Amino acid sequence: MSEASPTVIVFGSLHYDIVVEDAARPRKGETVTGKAWWPKCGGKGGNQAVAVAEAGVLSAMIGAVADDDFGRTLLANLDANAVDRRHVRVAPGRGTGMSVALFDGDGDYGAVIVSGANLTLDADDIAAAADLFAVSRVLVLQNEVPDAANAAAASAMRAAGGRVILNAAPARIPSPELAAKVDVLVVNAIEAELLAGVPVVEGLDGALAAARILAQTYPAAIVTAGGAGVACATASGELSRIEAIPVKLVSTHGAGDAFIGMLAASLARGATLREALERANRSAAEFVSRPRAGTTPG
């Protein structure tokens, strides 16, 4: 593995997002009038790859898009943010992944994703990117691509001597093959409930309790608790509670990806887990207080 410059590989999803803002998210069967909408380049993988690059670490993306306008926009966004996308494949016969996110007046949101080309990722994409694994220190995975593809990527990273971070979002229990190769698990409270098998009480106490359960399976387990902060437990018994930094909330959309990007970049640079968590917590706070750009009033 190269010691010259840390490199982070993000293996995962690329989505073209349509974001809608309204006073309250609609209930079943209800139509509400929105305030504004705007397009955004996203997908957890794409967001995290850009966040790594913004943190000043070499960022490489392995993913798939279609030969359509959405796909071309996503590729241009990776280029504009200095993400190495040589291994982002154009998948024939599939649409580019996309999502619709609905925000309420408090800045919270719900989203629907259509995975499209992201579901074509497999072990062949890993083999084609052997040059990246040879020089990378950290691999970041999410649950918006097939589990088997994630497991193949994790195997390649482990073989290269690097570290594997799994952001298990959306909530899905990893296969035993994947779980055995994860060094750092990152989940929110909802995802932690599924993986830990217990209800997660709101706040840092509940997050830390869930992290301790998950650390029985993973070397390190991080549970983000939104406005409360973040908790972490390791298999060796180390516990961390980090309070959220008070900021004026603009939007939470993408905050978790900003957290993951800084976490991965910091670990690639050799930071301790505690140091990486503190930097990631600050990065997420800055992100949620950032003004939006490109909104289109309704």
Closest CA to 265 of 17, 91, 6, 5: 6
| Domains held by the chain: number | 1
> Which residues, including other chains, have CB under 8 Å from residue 1's CB and lie 6 or more apart?
134, 135, 136, 137, 160, 161, 162
Mean pLDDT confidence for 155-168: 97
| Greatest pairwise CA separation for the chain in angstroms | 56
Residue 96 lies in a domain: yes
Closest CA to 163 of 187, 181, 143, 150: 181
Global pTM reads 0.91
Give the span between the Cα atoms of 94 and 90, in whole angstroms. 9
- pLDDT reported for residue 3: 45
Mean pLDDT confidence for 149-171: 97
> For 210, which DSSP code?
H
pLDDT, one tens digit per residue, over 13-26 is 999 999 898 877 78
Residue 222 lies in a domain: no
Closest CA to 196 of 163, 181, 174: 174
Domain CATH code at residue 19: 3.40.1190.20
Give the span between the Cα atoms of 250 and 278, in whole angstroms. 21
Residue 13 lies in a domain: yes
pLDDT, one tens digit per residue, over 228-238 is 999 999 999 99
Q: Identify the sign of the CA torsion 43, 167, 57, 279.
A: positive
- pLDDT reported for residue 296: 52
Residue 173 lies in a domain: yes
Boundaries of domain holding 91: 7-24+34-182+245-297
Amino acid at 199: P
Residue 43 lies in a domain: yes
- What is the chain's mean pLDDT, rounded? 91
Residue 94 lies in a domain: yes
- pLDDT reported for residue 1: 39
Q: Which residue has the higher pLDDT, 62 or 202?
A: 62
Residue 151 lies in a domain: yes
Pairing, β 239-243 against β 229-234: antiparallel
Question: What number of other Cβ atoms are within 10 A of residue 163's Cβ?
Answer: 20
Residue 197 lies in a domain: no
